[in-house]
Structure 1
Amino acid sequence: MTPPTTRRRRRTDGDSAAPRLALPRRGSVRRSQMITTYGVGSLIAVDNESFIVSGIDDAHRSWTLDEAPIIREHRLAHVLDVRHFRLPPASEDTSKDGVRVRRFPLWHSCPSCQSLQHVRGFNPPPGRNVCTDCDDEPLVPSRFVVACEDGHLDDFPYWKWLHRKNRDEGATGLCGGRLSMRFSGQSASLRSIIVSCTCGVPEVSMEGAFRRSALTDLGVRCEGRRPWLKDAPTEFCAQAPRTLQRGSSSVWQPVLKSALSIPPWSDGLADKLSERWEDLRAYSSRLEIEIYLKAAFPGDDSISVDAVMDLLAAEQEEDPAQADESDAVAVSRYQALRRQEYERLCAGNALRDKGREEQFVCEPPVTNTADLAPLGVGRPMLVKRLREVRALKAFTRIADPETSTEGHEAALSLTPTDWLPAMEVHGEGVFVRLDEERLDAWASLDSVTERVEQMRAYHDQVLRERAGDPAEAPASPATPRMVLLHTLSHILINEWSLEAGYPAASLRERLYADDTMAGSLIYTATSDSAGSLGGLVAQGEPLRLAGTLRSALRRAQWCSADPLCMETETGGANGINRAACHACVLLPETSCEHGNGLLDRALLVGTPENPDLGFFVHALVL
Structure 2
Amino acid sequence: MTPPPARRRRTGAQGSAPAHNLPRRGTVRRAQVITTYGIGSLIAVDQESFVVSGLDEADRSWSDNESPRIHERRLARLLDVDHFRLPPASDDKSRDGLRVRRFPLMHSCPECNDLQRHRDFNPPAGRSVCGTCEADLVPSRFVVACESGHLGEFPYWQWVHRSTDRSAAAAGQCGGKLKMRTSGRTSSLRSILISCTCGKAPEVSMEGSFRRNALKDLGLKCHGTRPWLGTSAPAQECGLPLRTLQRGSSAVWQPVLKSALSIPPWSDGRADPLAEHWEELRKLDSRAEVEMCLKFAFKGEIPIPIDEVMELLDAEREEDSDGESDPTLDHRYRALRNKEYERLRSGNDESEHSHEEQFVCETPLGDQSVLLPLGVTGPMLVKKLREVRALKAFTRLADPDSTTESKEMPLSGSPLRWLPAMEVRGEGVFLRLDNDRLGTWEKAAAVAARVERMRTAHQRVLEQRAGDPSSVVPSPATPRMVLLHTLAHVLINEWSLDAGYPAASLRERLYAADDMAGVLIYTATSDSAGSLGGLVAQGEPDRLDRAIRSAVHRAEWCSSDPLCVESEASGTGGTNLAACHACVMLPETSCEHNNILLDRALLVGTPEDPRLGFFANVLEQ
**What one-letter code is carried by the residue in structure 2 that aligns with 1:162?**
V
Aligned to 1:274: 275
1:122/1:131 contact within 8 Å kept: yes
Displacement of 1:544: 0.4
Q: Does the residue aligned with 2:5 lie in a helix, a strand or coil?
A: coil
Whether the 8 Å CA contact 1:114–1:181 is kept in 2: the answer is yes
Match of 1:246 in 2: 247
CA distance in 1, matches of 2:78, 2:20: 35
Q: How does 1:282-431 map to 2 (within 5 A)?
A: 284-286=285-287, 303-319=304-320, 329-402=328-401, 405-431=404-430
The counterpart of 1:150, out of the listed 132, 148, 151, is 148
Q: CA deviation at 1:469?
A: 2.6
Q: CA deviation at 1:197?
A: 1.0
The answer as to whether partners of 2:320 and 2:335 remain within 8 angstroms in 1 is no
Matched-pair contact (CA < 8 Å) for 2:321–2:335 = no
SS at match of 1:85: strand
Contact 2:10–2:18 (Cα < 8 Å) also in 1: no
Aligned to 2:19: 20
1:52 alignment counterpart = 51
CA-CA distance at 1:337 after TM superposition: 0.4
2: CA distance between counterparts of 1:70 and 1:320?
28
| 1:352 Cα deviation after fit | 1.9
d(CA) in 2 for partners of 1:92, 1:43:
22
Map residues 580-595 of structure 1 onto 2, 5 A cutoff: 580-595=579-594
Is the CA contact (8 Å cut-off) linking 2:507 and 2:590 kept in structure 1? yes
TM-score (normalised: structure 1): 0.95
Contact 1:78 1:320 in 2 (8 A): no
Q: TM-score, normalised by structure 2?
A: 0.95
Shift of 1:291: 6.9
Question: 2:130: which partner in 1?
Answer: 131
SS in 1 for 2:152: strand
Letter in 2 for 1:69: P
Task: Please give the per-residue CA displacement for 1:7-59, whole angstroms capped at 9, x wherever unaligned.
Answer: 2156354569x742011110000011000000000000000000000100110
State yes or no: 1:221 paired with 2:221: yes
Task: Label 1:335 to 1:301 Cα distance change in 2 as closer, same or farther (>3 A).
Answer: closer
Structure 2 residue runs without a partner (length 5+): none
Q: 1:12 to 1:612 in 2, by over 3 A?
A: closer
SS of structure 1 residue aligned to 2:582: coil
The Cα of 1:312 is off from its aligned counterpart by 1.2
Equivalent residues of 1:382, 1:431 under 8 A apart: yes
**Judging changes above 3 Å, is the alpha-carbon distance between structure 1 residues 539 and 99 closer, same or farther for their aligned structure 2 residues?**
same
Deviation at 1:534, TM superposition (A): 0.5
**TM-superposed deviation, 1:65:** 0.6
CA contact (8 A) 1:169 1:175 kept: no
CA distance in 2, matches of 1:378, 1:189: 55
- Does the Cα contact within 8 Å between 1:403 and 1:466 map onto a contact in 2? no
* Distance apart, 1:330 and its partner CA: 1.6
Aligned to 1:608: 607
Q: CA 1:563–1:289 in structure 2 vs 1: closer, same or farther (change >3 Å)?
A: same
Counting aligned pairs with the same residue, the percent is 66
Following superposition, the deviation at residue 301 of structure 1 comes to 10
Structure 1 segment 8-87 matched on structure 2, within 5 A:
8-9=8-9, 11=11, 13-14=13-14, 19-87=18-86
CA distance in 2, matches of 1:173, 1:292: 62
**Does 1:506 find its partner at 2:505?**
yes
User: Secondary structure in 1 aligned to 2:492?
Assistant: helix
Listed one character per residue, the Cα deviations across residues 337-373 of structure 1 (whole Å, up to 9, x for unaligned) are 0111001101111112200110100011111101100
* Count of residue pairs brought into register by the alignment: 617
- What displacement does 1:445 show? 0.4
**What do the CA deviations read for 1:318-351 (whole angstroms, capped 9, x no partner)?**
3399xx997x622100110011100110111111
The secondary structure found in structure 1 opposite 2:430 is: strand
Structure 1 CA distance, aligned partners of 2:320 and 2:300? 33
Distance in 1 between residues matched to 2:212 and 2:168, nearest whole Å: 30
**C-alpha deviation, 1:303, in angstroms:** 3.0
Q: Deviations over 1:153-185 (max 9, x none)?
A: 000001111111112755955311111111111
Residue 115 of structure 2 is aligned to residue 99 of structure 1: no
CA distance in 2, matches of 1:434, 1:15: 63
Q: In the superposition, relative to structure 1, how do residues 224 and 301 fare at CA in structure 2: closer, same or farther (>3 Å)?
A: closer
In the alignment, the residues of structure 2 paired with residue 395 and residue 291 of structure 1 have an alpha-carbon distance, to the nearest angstrom, of 41
Residues 365, 542 of structure 1: 8 Å contact kept: yes
- Contact kept in structure 1, 2:321 and 2:332, CA below 8 Å: no
Distance of 1:518 and 1:15 partners within structure 2:
60
Counterpart CA distance in 2 for 1:280 and 1:476 is 36
How far off its partner does 1:289 sit?
Answer: 5.1
Equivalents in 2 of 1:414, 1:298: separation in Å?
35
The 5-angstrom pairing of residues 563-578 of structure 1 reads 563-578=562-577
Cα root mean square deviation, aligned = 2.2
Task: Look up the match of 1:452.
Answer: 451
Assess, with a 3 A threshold, how the Cα gap between structure 1 residues 179 and 408 changes in structure 2: closer, same or farther: same
